[in-house]
């Protein structure tokens, strides 16, 4: 049976075989501390098209900071964009910056890790300069001013709270909002308005407005560029949000907090493949009773924003739509949690209704269904036509005859990965994480001798040959990189998310008649993608 997601207004079926690459914007090379929405992003889209790929998956694009080690899964807002991805060159092209000013901000050389602190600092400085020019000559930027006014009005659901939260975070030395003076933590409007008037810092709020306008403008141009190349953008929406975020601070009634504003319980997962003690996240649970009473308004707005930004949306930890692992806030690990039911069916019905009413050109929602998945989760996925995930690095744990991650057990309505952002690279897994049994099983399964030099190639071939409708390859596996290129180690706070492709590696992608591009193009053609 030909299956199309209930949310897919473009009528793209998962039986229409496609392939793509998992590669976060921060991992692009560039001179401004981290990758972003500049020319290299466009060049990467060119590489995808020329290599036969049609999907580009990124991690969450929401704002991050050092308090969460710049984790994209601990964003300060579920709606805002990460200013670090704003392209200074694009600002110059729009006439908002003098091109020459950028020379003082560029870093040249082979940087193999992102410097988020530097990127955040300089982009904020450049946005301030750009806004000053914009404000000083409104007549010159009349068309831009109209777009800016429309943006502020359109995003009024979240933008003022995000800007105010950003200002107060800065004013109070970046402390979590529950450590601010009580009136500010409790969002007393009179206190806050008087504070802003006395401090005369409303300009900082307006700067955040302008920053988000610029991000939105550049993101839409980037998406349009990719779509023009036949590339669909896949985004990631975490099930939960960070406690220290504008979302929780501005909407405390929507979250399970005590009278002082601290979480009663936090989300996580029980002990599993990734951690013997489970994962205890800092994310508060939702107050589903209140959310249901207001028609899931916050979730509806969040999903609408995601579907405006992306062609495909992966819901991280979809398991939480059926039940979530609730850990008492005072616990140090996730071992002593319990499953707590959530109204996922009602929520998904509300989301479906929004998509129908808005007439959004939305592609499929994809459920991240890794870990402990019970029958009720599967039933929910089937009811709403949500494809799941198949991860090849999980296929060789024990025997693979009935292992759902083994290629012969894949379904067309699924997305296959060699590994995800939480896995080691294939080469890293082979060298450091696999045992003799797993290595022998891979050789037996593929019918060839596997070694350090060919293991990534073999897994890439397995993914592309799978019956899964979409195959996604982490860029590190395409490049056959080892463990140092791993993006994230679950349960380890520091040292993640920083891997970047070098300029030399990036330039090697554009060689059309040999190397990586030719190999990917050939494999995509052979396997009908």
Catalytic residues: 316, 368, 422
C-alpha of 30 from chain center: 20
| Helix orientation angle between 189-199 and 159-171, rounded to the nearest 10 degrees | 60
Residues 245, 77 contacting (CB under 8 angstroms): yes
Residue 230 zone, left/alpha/beta (φ > 0; ψ -120 to 50; rest): left
The CA–CA distances, whole Å, from 473 to 20, 73, 462 equal 6, 20, 11
Strand partners, 20: 55, 472
Nearest to 432 by CA among 500, 471, 473, 485: 485
With 0-12 CB in 10 A as exposed, 13-18 as middle and 19+ as buried, what is 41? buried
Main-chain dihedrals φ then ψ at residue 326, nearest 5 degrees: -95, 120
CA nearest to 229, candidates 42, 478, 502, 439: 42
The residue assigned the tokens 């030399």 is 504
Instruction: Please state, in angstroms and rounded to a whole number, the distance separating the CA atoms of residues 84 and 214.
Output: 11
Strand 55-57 to 232-238 pairing: parallel
Q: Comparing C-alpha atoms, which of 84, 93, 59 is closest to residue 236?
A: 59
């Amino acid at each position: 049976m030909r299956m199309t997601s209930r949310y897919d207004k473009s009528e793209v079926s998962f039986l229409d075989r496609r392939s793509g690459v998992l590669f976060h914007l921060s991992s692009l090379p560039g001179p401004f501390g981290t990758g972003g929405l500049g020319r290299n992003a466009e060049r990467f889209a060119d590489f995808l098209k020329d290599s036969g790929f049609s999907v580009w998956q990124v991690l969450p694009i929401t704002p991050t900071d050092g308090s969460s080690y710049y984790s994209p899964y601990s964003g300060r807002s579920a709606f805002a964009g990460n200013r670090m991805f704003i392209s200074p060159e694009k600002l110059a092209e729009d006439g908002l910056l003098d091109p020459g000013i950028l020379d003082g901000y560029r870093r040249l050389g082979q940087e193999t890790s992102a410097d988020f602190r530097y990127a955040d600092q300089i982009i904020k400085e450049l946005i301030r300069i750009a806004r000053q020019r914009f404000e000083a000559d409104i007549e010159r930027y009349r068309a831009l001013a109209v777009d800016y006014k429309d943006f502020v009005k359109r995003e009024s659901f979240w933008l003022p709270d995000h800007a105010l939260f950003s200002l107060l975070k800065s004013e109070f030395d970046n402390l979590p909002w529950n450590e601010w003076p009580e009136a500010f933590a409790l969002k007393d409007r009179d206190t806050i308005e008087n504070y802003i008037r006395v401090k005369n810092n409303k300009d900082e709020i307006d700067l955040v407005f302008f920053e988000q306008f610029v991000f939105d403008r550049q993101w839409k141009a980037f998406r349009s560029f990719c779509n023009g190349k036949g590339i669909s953008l896949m985004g990631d929406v975490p099930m939960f949000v960070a406690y220290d975020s504008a979302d929780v601070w501005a909407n405390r009634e929507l979250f399970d907090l005590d009278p002082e504003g601290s979480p009663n319980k936090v989300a996580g997962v029980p002990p599993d493949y990734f951690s013997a003690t489970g994962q205890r996240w800092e994310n508060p649970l939702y107050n589903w009773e209140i959310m249901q009473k207001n028609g899931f308004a916050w979730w509806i707005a969040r999903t609408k924003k995601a579907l405006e930004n992306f062609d495909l949306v992966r819901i991280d930890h979809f398991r939480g739509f059926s039940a979530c692992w609730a850990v008492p806030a005072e616990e140090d690990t996730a071992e002593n949690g319990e499953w707590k039911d959530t109204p996922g069916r009602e929520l998904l019905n509300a989301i479906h209704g929004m998509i129908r009413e808005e007439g959004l050109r939305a592609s499929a929602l994809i459920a991240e269904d890794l870990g402990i998945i019970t029958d009720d989760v599967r039933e929910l996925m089937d009811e709403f036509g949500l494809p799941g995930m198949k991860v090849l690095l999980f296929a060789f744990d024990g025997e693979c005859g009935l292992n759902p991650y083994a290629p012969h057990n894949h379904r067309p309505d699924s997305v296959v990965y060699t590994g995800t952002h939480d896995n080691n690279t294939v080469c890293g897994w082979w060298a450091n994480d696999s045992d003799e049994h797993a290595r022998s099983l891979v050789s037996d399964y593929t019918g060839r001798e596997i070694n350090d030099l060919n293991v990534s190639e073999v897994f890439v071939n397995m993914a592309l040959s799978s019956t899964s409708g979409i195959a996604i390859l982490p860029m590190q596996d395409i490049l056959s990189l080892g463990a140092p290129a791993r993006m994230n180690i679950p349960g380890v706070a520091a040292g993640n998310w920083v891997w970047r492709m070098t300029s030399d590696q990036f330039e090697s992608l554009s060689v059309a008649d040999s190397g990586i591009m030719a190999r990917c193009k050939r494999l995509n053609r052979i396997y009908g993608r």
